[in-house]
Amino acid sequence: MRSECPFMVGVAGIGWIGQGQYGCVRRELRRACDDMKVLQSHLRDASIFLYPVKHFGRFDSVSRMTCCAVALAMHDAGMPYSRDAKQDMGLLGTNAEGCLQSSLGYFKDYVESGRTLARGNLFIYTLPSSPLAEAAIHFGLCGPLLYMTFPEPGVDQVLRCASSMILNGETSGMVVVKGDEREALCFILVRKDEGGSDGLWNLDDVVKVAREISLFAISDRKENGES
């Protein structure tokens, strides 16, 4: 069935981080980084981060992974950004545990402080949407922002939800992130002219691949020239 909209949704870029590596799928980039704490420096040196992320040092692990994965995906899509420009793009994130580890860290700090107070910079990340908010601030994304979870968290569900938001006219594009303290996978979704040849990946194809194989296999497929 053809869409009633004059456009569809395509995937412009994919960035990933995990198991001591990071990369971009379209650009066929894969590099090692044994210490994820210094990943930001790697991305700045490669001009993937176009300027420093404010307060990056105070971020929790999920926020760091999220911001780095978004930078990689935007680099993969060839999408520029600047300090002063705003973009009509939203952010949708998911993972299996929400902000559980950051919440535990905050409560531990509260207990160790005599159950009277805890550090405010830890409290910030006791919301699962906080990593998305940090990314939105840095990249100037002013579209819808939300965190979603499912009984069986997966990439295909959030990609479908983000696609619906674009098709419904809520935003012109969406950044979709599935990330936790260990790994992150980020997709850039944009409008795709129906029947046009705009170099974007078909969303259905990406959903199928993302559901069936790991993010590393996605990168391997691209590097090996498989569709």
| Residue pLDDT, tens place only, 168-188 | 999 999 999 998 888 999 999
Q: Tell me the whole-structure pTM to 2 decimals.
A: 0.84
- For 98-130, how does the pLDDT look when each residue is reduced to its tens digit (9 = 90+)? 665 655 565 566 556 555 554 546 656 767 889
Q: Where are the domains of the chain?
A: 7-223
Long-range Cβ contacts of 28-31 (<8 Å, 24+ apart): 28/219, 28/222, 28/223, 29/76, 30/219, 30/223
Could you give the dihedral angle defined by the CA atoms of residues 199, 31, 37 and 159, in that order, rounded to the nearest 10 degrees?
A: 30
Instruction: Return d(Cα 195, Cα 149) in angstroms, integer.
Output: 33
Please say if the pLDDT value at position 25 is more than 70: yes
Structure tokens at 59: 């971020």
pLDDT of residue 104: 59
CATH of 7-223, one of 3.40.640.10, 1.10.760.10, 3.40.47.10, 3.40.50.150: 3.40.47.10
Give start and end residues of each alpha helix (H) in 58-195: 61-77, 100-112, 120-123, 130-139, 155-167
